[in-house]
Amino acid sequence: PFVVTDSCILCKYTNCVDVCPMDCFREGPNFLVIAPDECIDCSMCVPECPVGAIYNEIDLPDDQRHFSRLNAELAARSDWKPITRSKTPLSEHALWSSAHDKLAFLEI
């Protein structure tokens, strides 16, 4: 499956969700994840993300590998609901779009 990584945190542009044919995305307060058991590896979401947050699991950079398990865990939560239409990014997205290691700010 494909995996949403660190760059999405605190930005949440949501362009990715419009193109997903399987409606795999789940939404938390400041991050999205992909439900791995629903993703068909079409890769259509990858170029939609303005901050390059989405990777095929097999191509994950070493420092992003932990996001694979995190996507699966958060997608399984009942309070992380499906999101199928894009919406306004988070208000401080421009401030955070080039930041790294934002996991400490993840809201669950």
Does the protein bind ligand F3S through residue 12 (CB under 6 A)? Answer: yes
Pick one of 2, 13, 55, 80: the residue that binds ligand F3S (CB under 6 A): 13
Q: Which of 82, 76, 62, 71 is nearest to 9 (CA)?
A: 71
**What character string, x for contact with ligand F3S (CB under 6 A) and - otherwise, covers 48-77?**
xx-x-xx-----------------------
Binding site partner of 26, from ligand SF4, ligand F3S, none, Cβ cut-off 5-8 A by kind:
none
Pick one of 9, 10, 11, 24: the residue that binds ligand SF4 (CB under 6 A): 24
Rg (alpha carbons) of the chain, rounded to whole number: 12
**Count of CB atoms situated within 10 Å of the CB of 89:** 18
